[in-house]
Structure 1
Amino acid sequence: MSEGRGSRDDAVIRWLLEGDPAIRWQTMQDVLGAPPDEVAEERSRVEREGWGAELLSRQDDRGTWGGTVWKPEDRDATDDIVLLLGLFGAQGERTREAIDRVAANVDWGEEWDDSPFFDGEVEPCINGRVLTAAAALDRPADVLVRKLLDGQQTDGGWNCYAETTDAPGSFHSTICVIEGLAAYRAATGRTDLDEPLKRGQDYLLVRGMMRRRSTGELIDEQWLRFTFPYYWHYDVLRGLDHLRASGLRAEGRVAERIAEAVEVVLSRRAPDGRWPLDRVLPGRPALPLEEIGEPSRWNTLRALRVLDWAGVQSGA
C-alpha cells in the first residue's frame, strides 16, 4: 500500500477532501498517508453521510435494492448496490444489518437453483464483483471462490461466454475476478489464491493492459476513457488500480508492461490537474454520482494513487 506523498496544501487534494466521505477516507489513506485512526474515523462516516447513507436508506424490507437481485440493464438492483457499498468502504452497524438482510433473504432465483447471494451464480463477471463486495463487507464466500477458480481459462483469464476452458479470456470478466480474488486474499490471508491471481494478472500484463496478444492492436478505444462506477466494464485505469491495490510492485517487467497504460492515465489529466468523468455505462444509475465531462473525484483519486504507485510525478 502506498504511504502517500500528497499535501493537504495542494489544490487538487483539497478538492478531493471536500467530496463525499467515500472519497475523503481513501484520499487520506492512499494519497496523503494519514494515520490509520484518522482514516478510520473518516471512513465511519460513509454509512451515515452522503452516498453510502443514501444507498443504505433505499434497501427494502426483503433485503433487496430495486426489488430484485439484478437487472439486465439498470444499475439500481442489489448486486450493483452491494458492490458500490464495498467500493465506498461502508462499515459499521448500519452496514452490517443491511448486509445481514441480503445474506439471509436474497438469492439468485430459480434459474440459478436459488443460490444464496454470497454464493454467487455462474458468470465470472458477476461472481467476481460479488466476491469483491464480500471481502469488503466481511462476508464468507468460499463457495464463490471455488466457482471462480474452477472457471479460469487456460490462458489465465476468465470469460462469461466461454464454453470450454481453452476458449480465450475476456478483459471485462478477468478484471472482475482478479479484483475479487485479490480483495478476498487480503481479507482472509488465503495463499492458495496467489497462483490463480498471478495468472489472471499476467493475462492483462502480457497484453500491455489493452492490446491483442496476437497482433498488438488496441482492443477497444473506450478503454482509454475512464468511468465510475465501472460495474463489469474494463478500462486501463481500473486495471492499473487493481494491480496497485493487490500489492504488485511496479518494477522490472511489470513496469515495462504497464508503461503505455500509465502514459494513457497521464494523458487524460486536465490542465487543472484533475481527471474528468469521460463516460458512464448505459442504464439508470443507483445514484447520479458525477457528470460526464466534469472533473471526477473518483477518477482523480484513482489516477493519483496509480501514478504514485507507478513512481510517476503526477503534478498534483
Structure 2
Amino acid sequence: MTAPVPVIEWLLASDPAIRWQVMRDLLDAPQAVWKAERARVETQGWGARLLSHQDEDGRWAGGTFLPSGFTARDWEEQGQPWTATFFSLSQLREFGLDPQSESARRTVALVGANCRWDEGGQPYWEGEVEECVNGRTVADGAYFCVDVSPIVERLLGERQADGGWNCERCNGSIRSSYHTTINVLEGLLEYERATGGTPQTREARRAGEEYLLERHLFRRLSTGEPADARFLAFLHPNRWRYDVLRALDYFRYASILTGTDPDPRLGEAIEHVRSRRAPDGAWPLDWTAKGRTWFDLDDGPGQPSRWVTLRAMRVLKWWDGW
C-alpha cells in the first residue's frame, strides 16, 4: 500500500512546517532531505512569521502565559489567548524549529533570563504549579535542549492513584484528566527522547498510558460511554486540549521511540479516525479554540486541514504498516 499521491502533493504544497514532516513521516525521505526542509522553518513560512512577533527580550506579547495587559474581561469576551510565550514556544516545537538553530538557542536563553510565570514569578524553565502547564514546559524544554529534570521530578510526585494527572489536584481532585494526562505524557516522552529518561519516568509514563488505554482513549471506565463528544472531534492547534487523534499521534511516537508494538486497545480510536476520511482523501478540521492568535494555520472548521490530515495519515501508516 502506498500513500495517496494527490493528498501527498496537497500536503507538500504547503508550509515548511508541514513539508518536512510529510517527508520524514509519510515518504520516508533520507534524513538529510527532511532536515534540509526543516531548516527552512526558521526563515520561511509560519515559523519565521511567529519568530517575527517575538519581543526583543525573548518573550511574545509581553507575557508568559497571558499577554501583557490581558484582563479577566478580555478573557470573558475573547476567550483564552494563545499569543504569549508559553503557547508560542509550543507552536515552534510543533512546527519543528531546529533546536540547534540560532533562533532557538537565542530564544531559550532569553526566555530563561527574562520570562517569569504569571502564577508565582518563578523563572520560566523552573515551571509553575499546574500539571498541564508543567507537562508542556517539559516537552518544550526537552525539545529545545533545556534541563527540565526538576519539573519532571515534581510531576512524578503529582500522579493520581489511577495513573494519570489532573490540574485540579490542588483543588482536591483525586481522579485523572484526559487533558492533563496527555500534556504530561507528551512531556515525559520528549524528556525520554532527549535524555533516555529514568526508571521512574518510564514507569510513570506507562501508568499514564494505561489510564488512556483502559478507556480506549475516549470512554468512561465506569459506563463505557464517551467521556466527552469533543474527544472524537478533530482540533488544531490542540493547545492543552485532548482528542483521540492527538492521543494516537502520541502512541505512534512512543511506539517508534521505544520499539514497541501498537496496543490493540487503540483499535477503536483508529477506526474512528479512518471513518472520518473524506472522499478526497483529506480529513476536516472540526473545530478550533476561540481566542487571540498571531495568525491562522487552517482554513477553518469544516474545511480540509493539512495538519489534521498529516497526523491522521502518519497514525494510519504506523498502524497499518505501509
Normalised by the length of structure 2, the TM-score is 0.90
Amino acid aligned to 2:301: I
Could you tell me which runs of 5 or more consecutive residues in structure 1 were left unpaired when the two chains were aligned: none
Residue 99 of structure 1, CA deviation: 2.3
Query: Which residue of structure 2 aligns with residue 17 of structure 1?
Result: 12
Say if 1:89 and 1:136, in contact at 8 Å, map to a contact too: no
Residue 165 of structure 1, CA deviation: 8.5
| Distance in 2 between residues matched to 1:132 and 1:76, nearest whole Å | 18
Superposition map of 1:210-221 within 5 A: 210-221=218-229
**Aligned partner of residue 161 in structure 1, secondary structure:** helix
Post-superposition, which runs of at least 4 consecutive aligned residues in structure 1 deviate over 6 A?
A: none
Query: Which residue of structure 2 aligns with residue 271 of structure 1?
Result: 279
- Among 289, 297, 302, which residue is 1:293 paired with? 302
| Distance in 1 between residues matched to 2:198 and 2:9, nearest whole Å | 39
Superposition map of 1:13-52 within 5 A: 13-52=8-47
Whether 2:300 is the aligned partner of 1:305: answer: no
| Distance in 1 between residues matched to 2:14 and 2:151, nearest whole Å | 34
- Among 119, 123, 129, which residue is 2:130 paired with? 123
**Aligned partner of residue 40 in structure 2, secondary structure:** coil
Query: Which residue of structure 1 aligns with residue 91 of structure 2?
Result: 84
Say if 2:218 and 2:244, in contact at 8 Å, map to a contact too: yes
Number of paired residues? 303
Query: Which residue of structure 2 aligns with residue 150 of structure 1?
Result: 157
Say if 2:139 and 2:190, in contact at 8 Å, map to a contact too: yes
**Aligned partner of residue 45 in structure 1, secondary structure:** helix
Residue 74 of structure 1, CA deviation: 0.6
Superposition map of 1:244-255 within 5 A: 244-247=252-255, 249-251=260-262, 254-255=263-264
| Distance in 1 between residues matched to 2:128 and 2:198, nearest whole Å | 24
Q: 1:235-272 deviations in whole A, cap 9, x for unaligned?
A: 00000000011126444xx21x1111011101111110
| Distance in 2 between residues matched to 1:132 and 1:229, nearest whole Å | 16
**Aligned partner of residue 258 in structure 1, secondary structure:** helix
Query: Which residue of structure 2 aligns with residue 61 of structure 1?
Result: 56
Amino acid aligned to 1:220: D
Residue 196 of structure 1, CA deviation: 0.4
Residue 179 of structure 1, CA deviation: 0.5
**Aligned partner of residue 129 in structure 1, secondary structure:** helix
| Root-mean-square deviation over aligned CA pairs | 1.7
Say if 1:208 and 1:261, in contact at 8 Å, map to a contact too: yes
| Distance in 1 between residues matched to 2:316 and 2:55, nearest whole Å | 40
Percent identical across equivalent pairs?
45
Query: Which residue of structure 2 aligns with residue 284 of structure 1?
Result: 292
Amino acid aligned to 2:12: L
| Distance in 1 between residues matched to 2:281 and 2:198, nearest whole Å | 39
Residue 166 of structure 1, CA deviation: 7.5
- Among 134, 141, 146, which residue is 2:148 paired with? 141
Query: Which residue of structure 2 aligns with residue 159 of structure 1?
Result: 166
